[in-house]
Amino acid sequence: MKRVLRSCGVLAAALSVLPVSPVLAQSQSPPVAAGRQVQAVPMVPAKPAVDLAALSLNASQADALAQALRGADAHGLPPEKFAPDAAMALMAGQDPAGRAMGQAQLIELTLAYAHAVHVGRLPVSGFMTEWGLRPDAYDPAPDFAAAVQQDRLAAWLASLPPPYTGYQTLMTGLATYRGLAAKGGWAVTPSGPSLTEGMTDPRVKALRARLSVEDPTVARTGSDVYDPALVQAVQRAQKRFGLDPDGVVGPGTLNALNVPIQRRIDQIVANMERWRWLPQTLPADRIQVNVAAAVMSVFQQDAPTLTMRAVTGRPGDETPMLSSMIHSVVLNPPWNVPQSIATKELWPKEKASPGYLARNDFIVIPTGDGGSRLQQKAGPKAALGQVKFDFDNPYGVYLHDTPSRSKFDSFSRLASHGCVRLQKPIELVKLLMAGDPVWTPEKIDATLASGDTVRAKLPQQMAVFLLYWTAYVTPDGQVNFRDDPYGWDKELVQRIAAL
């Protein structure tokens, strides 16, 4: 698959840390039961190729497999593709050949189910280039054979799904929204002037009915006055959609409310599939960026310790999904401008306003082959701000500071060329350098103040994950949705459906 080099940079210009709740919903902590972490059942170590035809399932084993297959829809899988009834009917017959055929069919369905639940249904050839987070290859046959021979199928089946709270809660959310869909879902709330508190409008009754579907505290019927209680219900909905909770029902809120319930179900299914692309064990210390929500979180010992707003790639300049290791930071970094940005944006500005490049600290550097490239010097105008966080990846993206702070105040923060701008990058530098005998907070501050460009190696590399979560569940049990800004939910659902 062709690798794409991102045109990563910044040209354009919540002051507080975001609430922890949405961060916890994105946590990869193992599920918690009775106040303790539930450790995932370890996968049976892979064995050499086995002769599946030599296996002999007893009745209880066959029933266990059939029960798991009948629950495929709970994982967002199409139940008709994993239905075990025909195979079970053959196994219950008197004809030995038929029983053997039924067992073979049941095993084939089980292996397909195991692969789908464990690492997803999408083949490697089906991934978009920007979907750089890929599951490990997995052949379930050796694990399955060992589980049958050791009579531990229940433990093996339980170990297949992603062992993360985020996945388990989405399973519950999927059941909830399917139940809502079975009851008719919700009707479209008519468009019109923005609704503000105290207004009287016939559409308020439709708004009440719409909100009551997802919010049981809202009465389905009532007056057509947009009263304070209904305003609070709208604010709760706006928070779940990642919108400004101002209580005003304007176009953005109305669009979110009017997303069809089937599309919400598709979003949940798409996000469950992406959970399967993650490794079975994540580093306890890591950085996560939810690209769709434009939020960055630092986890230490698997608990969020620092959360901040981010600015991620705008549609057309998507921030890719990937995992890597941050190995160093650059203090007072210059910006080596990608040729695409120089050609499309900077040179036209220089032509329209001669001296633009010099006024913004850009210099032209000969490349030695008769060409040239642009570089913006480190300083107060530098697009990368005071610090850049480097990690290896084929897209040329990184985390960095920015001198343009206004976008962090917005609830819509998809505006970069693909890199991730951070609201509080200096805090992150000091956290990553904690304990380093050289790079003390005072040393970091002094170096930044000097203006000198310095690359500092981290005392310990930090894992970084750029993820795309558009549906997740907060600790209060509420399913939160974000826009599908890149259309990746829709694309993923379509690609899976075409299999």
In this predicted model, what pLDDT tens digit does every residue of 438-485 receive, in sequence order? 999 999 999 999 999 999 999 999 999 999 999 999 999 999 999 999
Distances (CA, A) of 368 to 35, 64, 371, 417: 63, 68, 7, 27
Please state, in angstroms and rounded to a whole number, the distance separating the CA atoms of residues 303 and 2. Answer: 36
Could you tell me the CA-to-CA distances from 447 to 252, 430, 435 in Å, in that order? 44, 13, 17
What is the DSSP pairing of strand 372-376 with strand 335-336? Answer: antiparallel
What Cα–Cα distance (Å) separates residue 152 from each residue in 57, 299, 303?
12, 34, 32
Report which of 415, 21, 482 is spatially closest to residue 271, judged by C-alpha positions.
Answer: 482
The residue whose two tokens read 């259309």 is 487
Counting as low any pLDDT under 50, the low residues of the chain are 1-5, 7, 9-25, 28-44, 46
Quick one: DSSP state of residue 486? T
- Identify any residues that bridge with 127 across adjacent strands, giving them in sequence order: none
Q: What is the DSSP string of 150-166?
A: TT-HHHHHHHSS--SHH
pLDDT at 184: 97
Is 408:423 a contact under the CB 8 Å cutoff?
Answer: yes
pLDDT at 367: 81
pLDDT of amino acid 382: 87
Q: What pLDDT is stored for residue 48 in this prediction?
A: 60
> pLDDT at position 98, please?
95
SS3 label, residue 368: coil
User: Which residues, in sequence order, are CB contacts of 243 under 8 Å at separation 6+?
Assistant: 252, 253, 256, 411
pLDDT at position 360:
77
Other beta carbons within 10 angstroms of residue 19's beta carbon come to: 11
**Over the stretch 20-59, which tens digit does the pLDDT of each residue have?**
344 444 554 433 332 333 334 444 454 567 789 899 999 9
Q: What is the pTM of this model?
A: 0.87
